[in-house]
Structure 1
Amino acid sequence: MNESELDSVLDTLGQGSTHGVAVAAVKDGAVSYSRAVGMASIELAVPNSLRTRFRIASLTKQFLAYALLQLVDEGVLDLDKDLRNDIPALHQYREEISLRHLLENTSGLRDIFDLLVLRGQDIETPISDDAIEALLRRQQNLNFMPGSQFVYSNTGFRLASYLAEKATSQPLETILRTRIFEPIGMASTELCRSGSAVLPELATGYQADGDAIRKASYGLSFNGDAGLVSSVNDLVIWERALPKLRVLGCPLETKLSEAARYNNGHSGSYGLGTFSTTWRGLRVSGHGGLLPGFASKLLRFPEKDVSVIVLANSSDTDVVGLASLAATAVMDSDLSERQLPRDLYSRTGLYIDRDRDELLELAFKDGRAIVRMHAMEFPLEGQDDTLMRIKYSATDRELVVKDDGLRLMEGGEEHALSRLPRYLGGYADLDRFVGEFHSADLEAIYRISREADNLRLSINGPAGRSAYSLVRLEETLFTGCSRQGYWLPYQIAIRFIGEGRFDTIELTSGRTKSLRLSRSN
């Protein structure tokens, strides 16, 4: 093992009385590296340890998937049955939606986080489960035909949790505890729906707020989408038990990471609550998680019998980088990254997929090639002379270099990208975009106003307000970025539709596609 670089990074993270991380690596069934640094509670001077419990966010999804697969194995549920009559929030859709669609993120359902942000609500603003249910039932359209694409959707796992409770007449807490945690011996893992709950040995979550650090919070409850708390020690128990677990006649890890097959026959990189892709030539499965104040990453390398776990009580922590360092330290082999295409520098710039108004920027940062999409940055990993994988994206994406430009490969389909030059058409016509637009799906008013040579979007919803400064990209296409409260940046693209005084706007974000709002004045 070569632990020096990982130890050096952890030494830096552990300096002073600040938040920190807990890290472990399992190789051949034994713990080969473990360390915790920083504070579980800065205020109470409680250090992090391997026993410290963290909110593991979306790492929860694999446990929900396992419980549901057990119910499928027992004949209680069916992965491919139409669920519209079983789940009230699906009643309004014309398209069939199955449990497989929910767990594979191929349902087309708009993500609940997106819906809250798009109606102006801050992540800290309290919202009841009943209000979330009502919001989901207001949605009249899907992002796409179920099974045709992948777009990450916490909504799907929220509804799958409801389905598990309905099928067993038990709360999800009981389902997970009796079916998974007690049999395996994970005594420190439990469902904790509320962000304000106080539990023994639970770390406090912290978040950067400008130059300061403050306690993080959120106003909605979670279930099988992101509600678990756990420790590194417990997740080590899970990883050591995983090779022995079977469901539906095959090893559990194989079933969880079984790639979704789209309607077009192509396969993606997400399975059932678990992704499966490659890392430096090795197959890797697992998941990541992010909530205000917490970040997590779990990676499995089946070919090397290695697992890596990173839990942090700050959502600013680079858990992906730490997991990569830990994996490199544990595996005694040459795992150097493959080279990127030589002429990539000449192709930097902003691009658009015109079929979907998806924006993508190719750039270099600190000498490394990155892609910016939806206000997030993803590094690129070379696959061959023309193909690059967009790493760590929640969507199955690859970038292809061709003589006539770039292509985005997503879900087995190729999307042409057009370079977007700086808009030079002037701003004298901005008044025709001004007005109010309404969305019944969001219960929100979008007010477009003019400020000199720019447009400003103000969102007024039932539980909050937010604002975006809109940058003009083309005659009728604008983009804006806002920070909801203090947590994450959030980018939208708005296309104005119609003639003269536009009567419709079409909004696209990371997890919401082509949502239309109508002019109301």
Structure 2
Amino acid sequence: MAIIKDGELAAKHVWGYANIDTREPITPQTIFPICSISKQCVEFLLATATCTNEDLTLERLVGMQSGLRDYWILSVLWGARPQDRFSIYQDAPEALKRLGSFHFAPGTQFSYSNTNFMVVGLAIEKVTGQTLNDLLQSLLFKPAGMKSAGLRADMARIPSPIVGYEGSEETGYIPYTNRIEWAGDAGVSASLDDMIAYEKYIHRSSTDENSAYFKIATDPTYIDGSSAHYSNGLFHREVEGVKVVEHSGGLAGFRLRRSYMPSERTSVIVLLNSHIDTTVVASYTFKKILKDTPSIEKLQVANDKPAETRIEVKWTSSYLDEETKLAVVVKQDKPGQVIVNYDGHHETLEILDENEAKGSYMQVRFGSNGLSIIRPFENRKFTARPLRAVPASTNAQEFVGRYYSKEIDSTFLVSGSGAMLYGAFDGYLGKGPMHVMQRLGEDVWWLACFRSLDAPVPGYWTVAFDGRRFEGFSKVTVGCMGARDIAYQRVS
């Protein structure tokens, strides 16, 4: 990792091994895939090349407000298996044909979708007649002095010696073989020295209103003018009440982050070939920096924490957001906190009173109609109704069958016996593996999916059956945050 302050290197520390079997250490010149940090590089290219305001469609694409489903998540529904090959010029065009409709009106909400930057990258190549790598080299990497950076689309050919490791000290570290090709959404690779050069380059022009980085780092908005939290390959968040502009990256075996705190003119870069949480690393570093340069305002923010509560809530249960057909599951494992799963992954919320809890990305209030939920990051307010509980031993054979989605060209196979169900998806990428399903209540299930072609997305799919008939159900909706409300009809 490294820290850049006022355009100069303030600290750099390198540790560990690029390959634990061959004992080759990581150095400042070791090349990492920087994954989704690539998105800001592509947007930097656009801003440098055009120096004009983007039209609405492009603005919504790079702001993750397009309403396009994430092709990477949908690959599960098209039959992809872990470590399968995915070609950007053969498989990606077929994916774009099968995205289906918008899952929300463009410009109204946020939903992270790799489709947006894949489309932008391919469009740039088509319009310019040049490769994305050549354009990045001439417009960003060479001017910034990033000597070894490049768009290396094929993850199976990352320059040695770097290896990405899954696992932990407790389970052992396991090397992961990645066979994916990326476009503008995650294809750049660079060393720590390259990223230091990138930050220095940005710092030199970060306050220049005519510079490319200044343009892409401006505060984003939705189509109605309200504030958003993401645009141009950059997230906008706060650490101890102080603004941070950043983006992380993650594939199986790698976790990366570059973060910039404008008020302190300080950047933090973290490149890891393991699954350590880079948010914790970067936030810890920024908090230490703020303590070293305290102000009254910062100290007040840091000390303004709610008193600890020992309340145990009575609304731990399963709910359904009818608008998106996504499940909301509330659990409590200790007083004072609840764990809420809505977007496929868990978030811990602090309890404010017996009916309300709040976290970094969600505020929940329990009432007579269920849960009233505010998710400001996505520009959403909605109510999730409670699901009627069903005994775990209830026979589930009425759900078994084969269902087909014409919209995205995917087949969903539900199998099992007694109360135990499994789900699998077939499509143009092949026949996918079986996934365990868990009944949440009524006719709504979770389908566990923590491994796709690569990264652990989406976590859980919500599977909501409907159209009960004597021989079973006539239809089912499958969805997650990045690919919502996909309708399947029973075919057998």
TM over 0.5: yes
Change in Cα spacing, 1:38 to 1:322, as seen in structure 2 (3 Å) is same
> How much has 1:285 moved relative to structure 2?
0.7
CA distance in 1, matches of 2:184, 2:31: 17
d(CA) in 2 for partners of 1:248 and 1:518? 55
Which residue among 119, 135, 139 is the counterpart of 1:175? 135
Which string of whole-angstrom CA distances, capped at 9 and with x for unpartnered residues, describes residues 204-248 of structure 1? Answer: 112229934222122320121111111222212222221333799
State how 1:310-329 maps to structure 2 within 5 Å. 310-314=270-274, 316-329=275-288
Mapping 1:384-403, distance limit 5 Å: 388-390=358-360, 397-401=361-365
Q: How many angstroms apart in 2 are the aligned matches of 1:24 and 1:364?
A: 38
In the TM superposition, what is the alpha-carbon distance from 1:249 to its structure 2 partner?
A: 4.5
- Cα distance between partner residues in 2 of 1:425 and 1:382: 29
Is 2:433 aligned against 1:455?
Answer: no
Does 1:511 pair with 2:479?
A: no
Q: State the distance in 1 between where 2:310 and 2:372 align.
A: 12
Q: Tell me, yes or no, if the aligned pair for 2:372 and 2:381 is still in contact at 8 Å.
A: no
For 1:460 and 1:178, how far apart are their aligned partners in 2? Answer: 42
Is residue 199 from structure 1 mapped to residue 159 from structure 2 by the alignment? yes
2:458 paired with 1:472? no
Please, which of 69, 79, 86 is the counterpart of residue 54 of structure 2?
79
Q: What corresponds to 1:353 in structure 2? A: 321
Deviates more, 1:152-161 or 1:207-216: 207-216
> C-alpha offsets along residues 476-500 of structure 1, whole Å, 9 cap, x if unaligned?
2111213436852631011112232
The equivalent position to 2:113 in structure 1, one of 136, 153, 172, is 153
* Corresponding residue SS for 1:36: coil
1:116 aligns with 2:75: yes
- Separation of aligned partners in 2, 1:216 and 1:286: 26
Secondary structure at 1:438 match in 2: strand
Alignment of 1:257 with 2:217, yes or no, is yes
1:104–1:270 CA contact under 8 A, matched in 2: yes
Deviations 1:267-295 (A, max 9, x none): 22102110112121011111000012211
Long gaps (5+) in structure 1? 1-22, 82-97, 391-396
**Alignment-mate amino acid for residue 473 of structure 2:** F
For residue 275 of structure 1, give the secondary structure of its aligned residue in structure 2: strand
Query: CA separation of 1:144/1:426 partners in 2, compared to 1, >3 Å: closer, same or farther?
Result: same
Q: Report the equivalent of 2:460.
A: 491
Moved more, 119-128 or 151-160: 119-128
| C-alpha contact (below 8 Å) 1:337/1:382 kept by paired residues | no
Shift of 1:253: 4.3
Residue in 2 aligned with 1:11? none
Cα distance between partner residues in 2 of 1:287 and 1:483: 22
Residue 213 (structure 1) aligns with: 173
Task: Report the 3-state secondary structure (helix = DSSP H, G, I; strand = E; otherwise coil) of the residue aligned with 2:441.
Answer: coil
| C-alpha distance 473-60 of structure 1, shift in aligned 2 (>3 A) | same
Look up the equivalent residue of 1:59 and give its one-letter code: I
Q: CA RMSD in A?
A: 3.1
Question: What letter is aligned with 1:35?
Answer: H
Contact 1:105 1:151 in 2 (8 A): yes
Please tell me whether the aligned partners of residues 344 and 480 of structure 2 are also in contact (alpha carbons under 8 angstroms). no
Change beyond 3 A, Cα 1:56–1:203 = same
Moved more, 464-473 or 370-379: 370-379
Unpaired segments ≥5 residues, structure 2: none
Counterpart-to-counterpart distance in 2, 1:502 and 1:44: 55
Inter-CA distance 56–365: structure 2 relative to 1 (3 Å threshold): farther
Question: Of 84, 91, 102, which aligns to 1:142?
Answer: 102
Aligned with 1:431 (options 392, 397, 403): 397
Q: What is the distance in 1 between the residues matched to 2:442 and 2:410?
A: 25
Counterparts in 2 of 1:343 and 1:211: CA distance versus 1, 3 Å: closer
Distance change (3 Å), C-alpha of 1:46 and 1:369: farther
1:217 counterpart SS class: coil
C-alpha displacement at 1:425, in angstroms? 9.0
- Note if contact 2:16-2:26 (Cα within 8 Å) is conserved in structure 1: yes
| Aligned amino acid, residue 484 of structure 2 | K
Partner of 2:226, secondary structure, is: coil
**Does the Cα contact within 8 Å between 1:482 and 1:491 map onto a contact in 2?**
yes
3-state SS, counterpart of residue 243 of structure 1: helix
Q: What's the counterpart of residue 61 of structure 2?
A: 102
Give the AA of the match of 1:504.
Answer: K
3-state DSSP of counterpart to 2:75:
helix
Contact 2:250/2:455, CA 8 A, preserved across alignment? no
Instruction: Judge conservation of contact 2:47–2:212 (CA < 8 Å) in 1.
Output: no
CA contact (8 A) 1:340 1:388 kept: no
1:147 partner letter = G
Match of 1:393 in 2: none
Change in Cα spacing, 1:239 to 1:363, as seen in structure 2 (3 Å) is farther
Change (3 A) 1:246 1:64: same
Q: Secondary structure at the match of 1:459?
A: strand
Distance in 1, matches of 2:465 and 2:357, equals: 34
